[in-house]
Structure 1
């Protein structure tokens, strides 16, 4: 299966049924421990959009890689409005996202959690 058809099937499936992570409100009992959510503002709707993702907090920064690069909806939202919130270990942190397309994705993956980055590794 090509990367384009994988992306289409994943995008189609995820747009028709909400993620179990995004249906729960923060702090809901039974929420996966260490669940990380990125909240962006929808570029068209102006509504908050939450995306479960993997990454790592380093000091006051949170590093992540997008599975589909600039084709990811949350990356498109960040381009339109870089103000974001990240929920790490049950606490929300406000910040401004900075896209780094020139960064070496393969080298960056080595510093991120292995399980959270498995899908990104498969796509790159």
Structure 2
């Protein structure tokens, strides 16, 4: 990873450590829940993306370096909270998808932040099973 990419990663993770606990409490914030690859505990990450039919699309700003991507690699079963409702699903990492083109189809505010901060972008698709309590 380049020096600039490493600097972006450090700044972003410091920001996320402070603000993610607050964001994931907001009832309408989209949240991805993975299973911790070491702990086995639920790990919730606020993020941006868009539901299209029975799939939820997002772009990871740091690709395989993101903790939730590493958790998906270990166990692709996830839950996504969309508009306050939880949905179970299976996550798929799509390294052959063009993440920049994908960001153009996702919510503008989040996509702009991901493009500005990210390094090593990776598209993720979650195939949704249905709503869960």
1:19 partnered with 2:21: yes
User: Aligned partners of 2:4 and 2:106: how far apart in 1?
Assistant: 25
Distance 1:43 1:82 in 2: 11
Which residue, 71, 80, 83 being the options, matches 1:86?
80
Q: 2:54 aligns with which of 60, 80, 94?
A: 60
Larger strand proportion of the pair: 2
The structure 1 segments of at least 4 consecutive aligned residues displaced by more than 3 Å after TM superposition are: 12-18
Q: Which residue of 2 aligns with 1:27?
A: none
Residue 18 of structure 1, CA deviation? 5.4
Paired residues, what number? 116
Distance 1:38 1:77, change over 3 A: same
**How many Å separate the matches in 2 of 1:68 and 1:75?**
9
Q: Which residues of structure 2 form unaligned runs of 5+?
A: 120-133
- Runs of at least 5 residues in structure 1 that lack an aligned partner in the other structure: 25-30
Partner residue of 1:35? 29
Please tell me whether the aligned partners of residues 104 and 111 of structure 2 are also in contact (alpha carbons under 8 angstroms).
no
Higher relative contact order structure (alpha carbons within 8 Å, sequence separation ≥ 6): 2
Of residues 32, 36, 42, the one that matches 1:48 is 42
